[in-house]
Amino acid sequence: MSLNEYVIIGNGTAAAGCIEGIRSVDKESPVTVISEENHPVYCRPLISYYLENKTDKDRILYRDKDFYEKNGCKVLYGEKATAIDNNAKKVTLASGKEVPFTSLCIAAGSRPFVPPFEGLDKVEKKFSFMTFDDALALEKAVDESSRVLIVGAGLIGLKCAEGLCERVKKITVCDLADRVLSSILDNDCAALMQKRLEENGIDFLLGDSVVSFEKNSAAMKSGNAVDFDILVLAVGVRANTEIAKEAGAQVNRGIIVDEKMKTSVDNIYSAGDCTESEDISSSTKKVMALMPNAYMQGFAAGVNMAGGEKVFDNAIPMNSIGFFGLHAMTAGSYDGEMFEEKDENGIKRLFVKDGLLKGFILIGKTERAGIYTSLIREKTPLSSLDFEMLKKIATSAAFSSETRGKKFGGVV
């Protein structure tokens, strides 16, 4: 068998999945990983836990220290891919080097989106919160007297707030939206999470935006002024699609891939936060920048690059995120009829359409939530189970005895 030359642009979770996918088929051919960051693959969502001292420089690594060596990978650290020539089958790097490939995976991730705020250049201590280096820089910059302004009350901004909470004097979070976590929570559920965050000393300015910055203060649209020592910009992210677009691949908000993770260009695959794919809970194409999806996409891409057969065709948006001990889980789309269970311990909202579970929001009541998630993913007809029971509690007791027999009496 003639050897392939696999090249992966990016060194995050999707790249790790791609490596493991390739190696499940082809143990021999060389793999080259182009890594802009000077770190082995690490758990990106854990950078806030690093600030909380719940992980450290070793434990934050996604795989064992010998991961690349064991998998026959060469990693080019500190190198940025700038162009793909699919005719000559080579990737050009910013350093001028060229890397030949027979099959390529673009797992280039995303980058922070920074709106053109007036006066932003006057702010000296400003940070993003996307990379381990961002977390290390923030760790150095803050102390117990720091006043921090975080622009953006989404997952990244709020996780940053939780991570910094014990290290600084004051944290204010502002967002144009009128609620926290507006991309995944509705008003009532967002209010519960906001309350928990406020109880832990985080201040909010919601439905408000920054008009302009001075060196240590922000003028808000509401007329308020916020003084700060440290600014964190967590407004949003953009998929890194440019290199794929220039190589002739179809690109929308993300790089468009099929179920095998192939782009519109032969021999070029893509996986992770830079891609756009089908959300089967709403039958729409979207960027689902989630770590589990990144791994599964990467793995599928790797298998197919190596000549195997693997589809990833049941992606849905899903999140499990906790703040100060209160967990929120969400999945799918909030479409159709809503069924609610509510008590002092939390809220459960299930969304049903066409006899199928389409989505859910759980605050606090998260036990066995995966039973709900799998009903969405597998499009299980609710008529085949006891939905009245499932509305109250996630339990396999709601399935028929025969279904349960397969789940708990067989190899799955």
Partner 1 sequence: MKRVYVNEEWCLGCHLCEYNCAFANSGSKDMAYALKGKAIYPRIHIEGDEKISFAVSCRHCTDAICVKSCIAGAISKKDGVVEIDRNKCVGCLTCVLVCPYGALSPDGDGIMQKCELCLKNSCGEPACVKGCPNRAIVYEERGE
Q: Which residues contact partner 1 by CB under 8 A? A: 17, 43, 45-46, 49, 54-55, 59, 61-63, 291-292, 295-296, 299, 318-322, 325, 327, 329, 331, 366-371, 373-374, 378, 389, 394-397, 401, 404-405, 407-412
CA atoms of 86 and 265, how far apart (whole Å): 9
In angstroms, what is the minimal distance from the CB of 245 to partner 1? 29
Distance CA 240, CA 37 (A): 15
DSSP code for 299: H
The nearer residue to partner 1, 47 or 104, going by C-beta atoms, is: 47
- Minimum CB–partner distance for residue 116 and partner 1 (Å): 32
CB-neighbour burial class of residue 240 (10 A; exposed 0-12, middle 13-18, buried 19+):
buried
**Whole-number CA gyration radius for the chain:** 23
Compare residues 126 and 377 and give the one whose CB is closer to partner 1.
377
For tokens 């032969």, the residue is: 266
DSSP-derived secondary structure letter, 351:
E
**Of the two residues 226 and 296, which places its CB atom closer to partner 1 in the complex?**
296
- Of 340 and 386, which has the nearer Cβ to partner 1? 386
User: Residue 346: phi, psi to the nearest 5?
Assistant: 150, -170
C-beta of residue 300 within 8 angstroms of C-beta of residue 289 = no
Find the shortest distance in angstroms from Cβ 363 to partner 1.
12
Distance from CA of residue 183 to its chain's centroid? 13
CA distance 33 to 16: 10
Q: In the complex with partner 1, which residue's Cβ is closer, 58 or 266? A: 58
Which residue's CB is nearer to partner 1, number 249 or number 288? 288
CB of 265 to partner 1, least distance (A): 26
Q: Is 40 helix (H, G, I), strand (E, B) or coil?
A: coil
Residue reference for tokens 């979770």: 13
Choice between 143 and 378, CB closer to partner 1: 378
User: At its nearest, how many Å lie between partner 1 and the CB of residue 411?
Assistant: 5
Pairing of strands 6-9, 230-233: unpaired
265: helix, coil or strand? coil
Tell me whether residue 61 or residue 306 sits nearer to partner 1 (CB atom): 61
State the CB neighbour count (10 A cutoff) for residue 122: 13
SS3 5: coil
Give least dist CB 71 to partner 1, A. 14
User: Which CB atom, from 236 or from 292, has the smaller least distance to partner 1?
Assistant: 292
Would you say 38 or 374 has its CB closer to partner 1? 374
**Contact of 304 with 310, CB cutoff 8 Å:** yes
Minimal distance in Å, beta carbon 123 to partner 1? 31
CB of 178 to partner 1, least distance (A): 27
Alpha helices in 117-246 (DSSP H): 132-141, 155-164, 187-199, 242-246
32 contacts 315 by C-beta, under 8 angstroms: no
Phi, psi of 14 (to 5 degrees): -65, -40
Give the span between the Cα atoms of 192 and 197, in whole angstroms. Answer: 9
Residue 367 CB, nearest approach to partner 1 (Å) = 7
Nearest to 289 by CA among 258, 312, 315: 315
Query: Nearest CA to 7 among 90, 104, 111?
Result: 104
